[in-house]
């Protein structure tokens, strides 16, 4: 029995699709590499975050949430030449706005400067680092390229004692910027250029936003980043593909510094949007050159700019989910981002109308000077948002693109001789247009149809709103009438609403489902004497025999009493 229960339980489980990062995490947990999951978002405070950063934030935070882990926010503030407190504050605001809760785990890389210095000294003592006097240009020259192996620095074989002394003097400020650097001693012939004795510390006499003037030597990113992850007990360092070639150096640092349970770096593809600038360096140049009005200029895709434009955190989360996680770089159409905000707001917010390129519309049979207020729903898909009053008068404005003097085929907007309905108002028929000296039409005379839909309210017991509806005789010439609009029979849904309301008036059982459909068919066939072929077409039947055989049977047997009361009440009320 136990085995059977286990099988049933297994069969009921739905397959879950996981991205490659989740698969790697599952593997690490299953093999006992880690017993928990801890991620981080490590921005450099040298600018505002953009939509690409949003993907990284939500990915790292989402992984921590999924595996009941922890999420850290850490500022990689190891380069004082580009960092500002303004950027720190903006990044914190953006992360919180996106809903990534880092709780009390807010960290700064600069808080680990002492630990990083100790690691550098440890590497020197192991013979894995040395102080180099080559200039930046000479270091690039010695490094070689993809086809040429690098050359060892003439200072590479300094003694451990000399390297310790020189590095201490660098810390004490005895050397100018760029005069000396500390380099890792790895392999100048490595096919990976990042492993050719990279610089891990440099001299920079700069004021730091967090540590002030305490330090005049600062670690390089590739050296500091793995140490920060290890100190914070990060298990999976999730970063973009540009750091894939840096992973061997990342692993070398945590290994040579002998950290227990070192973190693992996993790369994923960056988020690129079409037709917009996403790189932080490029956005920064646009801001500094005055081409845009600050980091939150609505033309940008920084998170601050998107927030200013009205984007919601939910819409950006939805966008990131749709984009997904992959290893291959690709571009995402900007329209997808716009789709996500529309989907998020369509049931939440009121929808307003605006005419951007106006054309005057003159309704020639509407009284001059009269203004009436029409009720317009704030959101057609969410009635809970209520309605608003919109003024209507003899002269209104429509969009220029909604009118054509000589329209092509299948153009259903306004043109001479065509009849359309103004949103929330009347049906109007175009009788002509006037043009200015440049050939641009600027006004149209319209005929307003008195029997509009704007006041239809089927909850009105007397149905007085229908008194102005046009009456059209049935083809057989008898005195029965079809409720119609401009000579066209009403749609099924409208007639059904009338039948349901009349059923309440004559105090008959509530009609729903088949009963409503049968009453509708009975009303059309037996009371209004409509052509069965037309009724079958209106009801979606293949032929008239289906309508006659099925619905007439129901009329004569099951719903004749209800239908009689309803239809007789409609006819006797003389509302047509």
Q: Which residue has the tokens 């996403």?
A: 278
Q: Which residues contact 389 (CB under 8 A, 6 or more apart)?
A: 373, 374, 375, 376
Contact 224, 109 (CB under 8 A): yes
> Helix, strand or coil for residue 269?
coil
Contact 132, 156 (CB under 8 A): yes
Q: CA-CA distance, 567 to 576, in Å (whole number)?
A: 12
Q: Provide the token pair at 418.
A: 């065509």
| Cβ count near 468 (within 10 Å) | 11
Q: Rounded to an integer, what distance in angstroms lies between the CA atom of residue 40 and that of residue 59?
A: 10
Distance of CA 306 to the CA centre of its chain: 10
Contact, 403 vs 440, CB < 8 A?
no
Give the pLDDT means over successive 10-residue stretches in the chain (576 positions).
43 69 95 95 94 96 96 93 89 96 95 96 97 95 92 95 96 94 96 95 91 93 96 96 94 95 94 88 91 92 94 96 90 93 91 86 88 90 90 90 88 88 87 76 49 30 28 30 38 52 46 47 54 52 48 40 47 40
Return the biggest CA–CA distance within the chain. Answer: 117
Beta-carbon count within 10 A of 9 CB: 9
Cβ burial 285-315 (10 Å sphere, 16+ → b, else e): ebbeeeebeebbbeebbbbbbbbeeebbbbb
> What's residue 357's pLDDT?
87
What's the CA gap between 272 and 301, in Å, rounded? 11
Q: What are phi and psi of 359, to 5 degrees?
A: -130, 130
| CA 348 to the chain's CA centroid | 15
In whole angstroms, give the CA distance from residue 543 to residue 198. 82
Q: How long a stretch of residues is the chain?
A: 576
Tokens describing residue 559: 């719903």
Strand partners, 108: 75
**Separation CA 64–CA 219 (nearest Å):** 28
CA distances from 16 to 13, 56, 372, 413 (A): 9, 22, 57, 47
- Give the strands of the sheet with 488-489, arranged side by side: 471-473, 481-485, 488-489
Of 164, 223, 170, 174, give the one whose Cα is nearest residue 199.
223
pTM, whole model, 2 decimals? 0.69
**CA atoms lying within 13 Å on the CB side of residue 116:** 27
Residue 573 Cα to chain centre, angstroms: 53
pLDDT of residue 225: 95
CA angle 274, 275, 280 (to 5 degrees): 85
Pairing state between β 419-421 and 395-399 = unpaired
**SS3 of residue 478 by DSSP:** coil
State phi, psi for 569 to the nearest 5 degrees: -65, -40
Q: Yes or no: say if 129 and 185 are a contact pair by the CB < 8 Å rule.
A: yes
The Cα–Cα gap between 529 and 481 comes to 9
Predicted local distance difference test score (pLDDT) of residue 485: 34
pLDDT of residue 139: 95
Q: How far is residue 275's CA from residue 554's CA, in Å, rounded to a whole number?
A: 62
Q: Which pLDDT belongs to residue 244?
A: 94
- CA gap 361, 396 in Å, rounded: 5
> Where does 436-573 show beta strands of DSSP type E?
441-448, 471-473, 481-485, 488-489
Q: What is the DSSP letter of 511?
A: P
Q: Answer positive or negative: Cα dihedral of 246, 248, 264, 183.
A: negative
Residue 529's pLDDT is: 52
Distances, alpha carbon 36 to alpha carbons 33, 71, 225, in Å:
9, 12, 20
Q: Please give the pLDDT value at position 380.
A: 86
Nearest-5° angle of CA 210, CA 213, CA 218?
Answer: 75
* Dist. CA 58–CA 507, nearest whole Å: 58
């Amino acid at each position: 029995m136990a085995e059977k229960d286990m099988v049933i339980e297994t069969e009921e489980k739905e397959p879950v699709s996981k991205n490659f990062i989740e698969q790697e995490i599952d593997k690490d947990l299953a093999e006992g590499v880690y017993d928990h999951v801890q991620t981080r978002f490590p921005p450099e405070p040298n600018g505002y975050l953009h939509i690409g950063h949003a993907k990284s934030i939500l990915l790292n935070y989402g992984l921590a949430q999924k595996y009941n882990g922890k999420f850290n926010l850490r500022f990689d503030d190891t380069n004082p030449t580009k960092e500002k407190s303004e950027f720190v504050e903006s990044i914190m605001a953006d992360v919180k706005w996106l809903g990534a809760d880092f709780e009390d785990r807010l960290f700064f890389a600069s808080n680990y400067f002492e630990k990083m210095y100790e690691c550098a000294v440890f590497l020197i003592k192991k013979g894995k680092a040395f102080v180099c006097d080559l200039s930046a240009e000479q270091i690039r020259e010695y490094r070689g390229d993809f086809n040429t192996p690098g050359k060892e620095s003439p200072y590479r074989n300094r003694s451990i004692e000399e390297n310790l002394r020189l590095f201490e003097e660098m810390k004490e400020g005895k050397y100018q910027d760029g005069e000396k650097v500390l380099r890792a001693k790895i392999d100048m012939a490595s096919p990976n250029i990042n492993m050719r004795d990279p610089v891990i510390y440099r001299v920079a006499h700069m004021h730091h936003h967090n540590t002030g003037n305490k330090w005049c030597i600062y670690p390089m990113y590739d050296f500091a980043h793995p140490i920060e992850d290890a100190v914070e007990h990060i298990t999976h360092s999730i970063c973009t593909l540009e750091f894939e070639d840096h992973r061997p150096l990342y692993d070398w640092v945590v290994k040579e510094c002998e950290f227990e349970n070192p973190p693992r770096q996993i790369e994923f593809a960056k988020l690129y949007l079409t037709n917009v600038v996403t790189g932080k360096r490029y956005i920064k140049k646009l801001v500094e050159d005055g081409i845009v009005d600050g980091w939150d200029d609505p033309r940008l895709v920084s998170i601050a700019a998107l927030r200013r434009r009205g984007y919601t955190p939910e819409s950006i989360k939805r966008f990131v989910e749709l984009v997904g996680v992959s290893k291959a770089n690709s571009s995402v159409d900007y329209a997808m981002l716009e789709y996500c905000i529309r989907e998020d707001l369509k049931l939440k917010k009121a929808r307003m109308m605006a005419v951007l390129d106006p054309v005057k519309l003159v309704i020639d049979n509407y009284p001059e000077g009269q203004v009436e207020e029409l009720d317009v729903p704030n959101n057609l898909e969410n009635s809970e948002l209520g309605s608003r009053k919109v003024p209507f008068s003899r002269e209104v404005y429509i969009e220029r693109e909604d009118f054509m003097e000589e329209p092509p085929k299948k153009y259903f907007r306004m043109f001479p001789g065509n009849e359309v309905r103004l949103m929330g108002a009347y049906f109007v028929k175009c009788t002509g247009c006037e043009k200015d000296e440049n050939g641009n039409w600027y006004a149209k005379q319209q005929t307003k149809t008195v029997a509009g839909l704007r006041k239809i309210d089927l909850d009105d017991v007397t149905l007085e709103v229908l008194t102005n509806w046009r009456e059209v005789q049935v083809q057989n010439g008898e005195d029965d009438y079809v409720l119609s609009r401009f000579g066209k029979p009403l749609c099924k849904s409208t007639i059904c609403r009338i039948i349901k309301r009349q059923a309440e008036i004559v105090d008959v059982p509530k009609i729903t489902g088949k009963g409503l459909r049968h009453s509708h068919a009975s009303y059309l066939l037996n009371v209004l004497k409509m052509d069965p072929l037309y009724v079958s077409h209106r009801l979606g039947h293949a032929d008239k025999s289906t309508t006659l055989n099925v619905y007439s049977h129901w009329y004569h047997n099951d719903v004749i009493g209800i239908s009689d009361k309803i239809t007789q009440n409609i006819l006797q009320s003389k509302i047509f």
